[in-house]
Amino acid sequence: MSENGNGLPRRRAAISDLGEALRLLVEHATATEAPTEEILRAAERIRQAAAPLGDRVRGRFDTASADDLLGGVRLYNPVTGTGSAFAPPLKIHREGDVAIGVCTLGRAFEGPPSFAHGGVSAMLLDQILGYAVTVSGHPGMTVQLDTGYRAPVPLYTPLRLTASVTAVDGRRITATGTITTADEPTMLLVEATGVFVALRAEQAQRLFGPVIGRSG
Ligand SMILES: CCCCCCCCCCCC(=O)SCCNC(=O)CCNC(=O)[C@H](O)C(C)(C)COP(=O)(O)OP(=O)(O)OC[C@H]1O[C@@H](n2cnc3c(N)ncnc32)[C@H](O)[C@@H]1OP(=O)(O)O
């Protein structure tokens, strides 16, 4: 499916609207203490709502028609995508050479009771480190991610992430990042160092050729 004129902005807005509705559903479905009969009714209604969306779906190598792969628009990215059911979503912007991210994690991201799952913190950091690496002009894929957990990351609390590139050594780019709460940006909760490797042309072709070839 291709969209042009007003179609693309409208489609992107619709996808983000659906994403927001799905995230509300995920939050309520995770936190609910509704009666069992209500849960059973909801499951049935949700299956009915989902069915028409499954009538036309893309294949593994097809880019979403609303995305712009080379322009960095990824509506279904599981960390930042506004169309994703389970992205927080993390919002990232640049302040000079530093990438700054903000998000709030709901109940679905829980690990230790009332705190975020450690894998979720690593996922957020991988994304923002990857962003910092990309906007520095040295895009690459993560080959190593080291995370240090200093204190638990609270749910339902605005978080602040940072990331910046610390070294470029041939194809290898190193970046470091942090998670704190927005209210206490000096109290470190999680820190990470990521090593990223720039792809050689033949590697990019081998890994992403089928996708690039189909995206228009
Ligand atoms: C604007 C919006 C943007 C938005 C941007 C958003 C970005 C999102 C970021 C998400 C990032 C991901 O999750 S990416 C998905 C997770 N990552 C992956 O799936 C990557 C899997 N790995 C691979 O496929 C492969 O390792 C490749 C293709 C990346 C590289 O293979 P290779 O070319 O054979 O690598 P190799 O020769 O062994 O190593 C290349 C160089 O890296 C070094 N190296 C390799 N591994 C390591 C390591 N663990 N730690 C240190 N250094 C290492 C080697 O010593 C070597 O250095 P030297 O001898 O040259 O000095």
What whole-number distance in Å separates Cα of residue 128 and Cα of residue 125? 5
Cβ–ligand 1 distance for 167 under 6 Å, the answer: no
Cβ–ligand 1 distance for 123 under 6 Å, the answer: no
> Which residue's C-alpha comes closest to atom 46 of ligand 1?
143
Any idea what DSSP says for residue 158?
-
Give, for all 216 residues of the chain, the pLDDT tens digit: 555 567 999 999 999 999 999 999 999 999 999 999 999 999 999 999 999 999 999 999 999 999 998 899 999 999 999 999 999 999 999 999 999 999 999 999 999 999 999 999 999 999 999 999 999 999 999 999 999 999 999 999 999 999 999 999 999 999 999 999 999 999 999 999 999 999 999 999 999 988 887 765
Cβ–ligand 1 distance for 128 under 6 Å, the answer: no
Cα 74 to Cα 95, 164, 173, 183: the distances in Å are 22, 21, 23, 29
Cβ–Cβ < 8 Å for 197, 144: no
Cβ–ligand 1 distance for 105 under 6 Å, the answer: no
H-assigned helices in the chain: 7-31, 36-50, 118-135, 201-214
Q: Domains in the chain, please, with CATH? A: 91-205 (3.10.129.10)
For residue 135, the ligand 1 atom closest to its alpha carbon is 1
Q: What ipTM was assigned to the predicted interfaces of this complex?
A: 0.90
Tell me the sheet residues that pair with 161: 101, 179
